[in-house]
Amino acid sequence: MPKLRRNYQPAIVMANALLSTDLHFPLKFEKYSGKVRDTYRIADEVMVLVASDRISAFDVVLPQGIPFKGQVLNQTAEYFLQATKDIAPNHLLAVPDPNVMIGLACDPIPIEMVVRGHLCGHAWRTYESGLRTLCGVTLPEGLRENDPFPEPIVTPTTKSKIGHDEDISEREILKSGLVDADVWAEMKYYALELFKKGQSMARERGLILADTKYEFGFHEGDRVTLIDEIHTPDSSRYFYAEGFEARQDAGEAQRQLSKEFVRKWLIENGFQGKDGQHPPHMTPAFIEEISARYIELYETVTGRKFVPADTTDIEGRISRNVLDSLKEMGMNA
């Protein structure tokens, strides 16, 4: 693995990791646990989204947590949601805790809008297998791993609550009635414009936003609204811009900030999320490496210094902060 540029502190290893939450509210609420986030829908008005320290790969949640990963995801998502709210309406209302954001209650649209500017990750594995079509999009011949596409492409997947997300084409989406043509056009427009903004912001920080994914929901019935995370290391792949072309020409691996190195480590250790496979055990040193990389991405992409939150009693801290914030919002939770 490439050497990290930053010097992380050994305290990262000693920190506690948040694997799950069991929050309670006086008002009526429903809880849903995704691969990484625990989401509480309160009184059908707001969503409390808790970014845990769980880590997933190949749509499987690994058994060990990564200290500070949830804080990185939450604060990175906040940074980009604030920066892109003029492009697409989003759900963000408040960030009462380093691991939590409170958002509008939206009904999720079961499609992930994956936008790709470069041939990497799943797209490269598909291309390397000999296929030249991904989600109904024809891929150019003669590309190398990590090469840029002539223009960003949208390769959606179905959003699965359990198990693997599945590739789907625009034609299949419209034919199946998952969304109507107007909603699809709006989602596609937002996704490409958000990606364009993300690429621009990345360039300012010496990075290349290679690919990412966006999720949308309906607010108040029919308003398409950006939800969940945006441009985080879980949802995105960043390359370092410096030396990118030279490494491509030399056929060398790109220096990147993403969790792709976790996927590669899992593949090297015989795991790709297939039936019958079990995730390998991550050593403390590897967990420390992952944590440090997440922090490095936050600091690099935002230009802000990462300030680790107190992990002595993470769930207690979250509960207090969320209840105080809801009271300030006029919700007697």
With tokens 């709006």, the residue in question is: 186
Say what the pLDDT of residue 165 is. Answer: 78
Classify burial at 208, counting beta carbons within 10 Å of its beta carbon; exposed 0-12, middle 13-18, buried 19 or more: buried
Residues 100-154 have pLDDT tens digits of: 999 999 999 999 999 999 999 999 999 999 999 999 999 999 999 999 999 999 9
Domain harbouring 164, CATH code: 3.30.470.20
Which pair of tokens denotes residue 10?
Answer: 């050994």
**Domain of 250?**
11-328
Asked if residue 16 lies in contact with residue 66, where contact means CB atoms within 8 angstroms, the answer is no
Is 151 inside any structural domain? yes
Is 179 inside any structural domain? yes
Is 2 inside any structural domain? no
Alpha-carbon distance 50 to 242, whole Å?
Answer: 35
Is 218 inside any structural domain? yes
Say what the pLDDT of residue 333 is. Answer: 54
Q: How many C-beta neighbours within 10 Å does residue 140 have?
A: 11
Q: How many domains does the chain have?
A: 1
Residues 77-90 have pLDDT tens digits of: 999 999 999 999 99
Say what the pLDDT of residue 10 is. Answer: 42
Is 3 inside any structural domain? no
Say what the pLDDT of residue 79 is. Answer: 98
pTM > 0.75? yes
Say what the pLDDT of residue 261 is. Answer: 87
Is 5 inside any structural domain? no
The list of the chain residues with pLDDT below 70 reads 1-14, 160-164, 333
Is 65 inside any structural domain? yes
Which pair of tokens denotes residue 200?
Answer: 């621009």
